[in-house]
Structure 1
Amino acid sequence: MANLNIVLLEPEIPSNTGNIGRTCVATGTRLHLIEPLGFRLTEKNLRRAGMDYWKDLDVTTYINYEDFLEKNPGAKIYMATTKGPQVYTDVSYGPDCYIMFGKESAGIPEEILLENQERAVRIPMIGDIRSLNLANSVAIVLYEALRQNNFDHMRLDGHLTKYDWK
Structure 2
Amino acid sequence: MPHNLNVVLLEPEIPSNTGSIGRLCLATQSTLHLVEPLGFEITDSRLKRAGLDYWQHLDVVRHADWNAFLQTLPPDAPCIFFSKKAKKLYSEHRYQPGSYLIFGKETLGLPEELINAHPETAVRVPQYDDRVRSLNLSNVVSIAVYEALRQLGY
Q: Same fold by TM (over 0.5)? A: yes
- In 2: Cα distance, 1:34 partner to 1:94 partner: 22
- In 2: Cα distance, 1:27 partner to 1:127 partner: 30
Structure 1: stretches of 5+ with no match in the other structure: 152-166
- Kindly state the Cα deviation for residue 73 of structure 1 after the two structures are TM-superposed: 3.5
- In 2: Cα distance, 1:6 partner to 1:19 partner: 12
Partner of 1:85: 87
- In 1: Cα distance, 2:64 partner to 2:56 partner: 22
Partner of 2:37: 36
After TM superposition, list the pairs within 5 Å mapping 1:1-166 onto structure 2.
1-74=2-75, 75-128=77-130, 129-151=132-154
**When the two structures are superposed, what TM-score results if normalisation uses the length of structure 2?**
0.96
Identity of aligned residues (%): 51
- Kindly state the Cα deviation for residue 127 of structure 1 after the two structures are TM-superposed: 2.0
Q: How many residues align?
A: 151
- In 1: Cα distance, 2:117 partner to 2:41 partner: 30
SS of the residue aligned with 1:106? coil
- In 1: Cα distance, 2:93 partner to 2:46 partner: 34
- Kindly state the Cα deviation for residue 115 of structure 1 after the two structures are TM-superposed: 1.1
Runs of 4+ deviating beyond 4 Å: none
- In 1: Cα distance, 2:48 partner to 2:16 partner: 8
- In 1: Cα distance, 2:57 partner to 2:121 partner: 30
- Kindly state the Cα deviation for residue 42 of structure 1 after the two structures are TM-superposed: 1.0
- Kindly state the Cα deviation for residue 85 of structure 1 after the two structures are TM-superposed: 1.0
Q: 2:145 is matched by which residue type in structure 1?
A: L
Structure 2: stretches of 5+ with no match in the other structure: none
Larger radius of gyration between Structure 1 and Structure 2: 1
RMSD, aligned CA? 0.7
Q: 1:81 is matched by which residue type in structure 2?
A: S
- In 2: Cα distance, 1:13 partner to 1:73 partner: 28
SS of the residue aligned with 1:26? helix
SS of the residue aligned with 1:2? coil
1:143-165 deviation line (CA, Å, top 9, x unaligned): 000000100xxxxxxxxxxxxxx
- Kindly state the Cα deviation for residue 104 of structure 1 after the two structures are TM-superposed: 0.2
SS of the residue aligned with 1:138? helix
Q: 1:33 is matched by which residue type in structure 2?
A: L
**When the two structures are superposed, what TM-score results if normalisation uses the length of structure 1?**
0.89
- In 2: Cα distance, 1:133 partner to 1:143 partner: 16
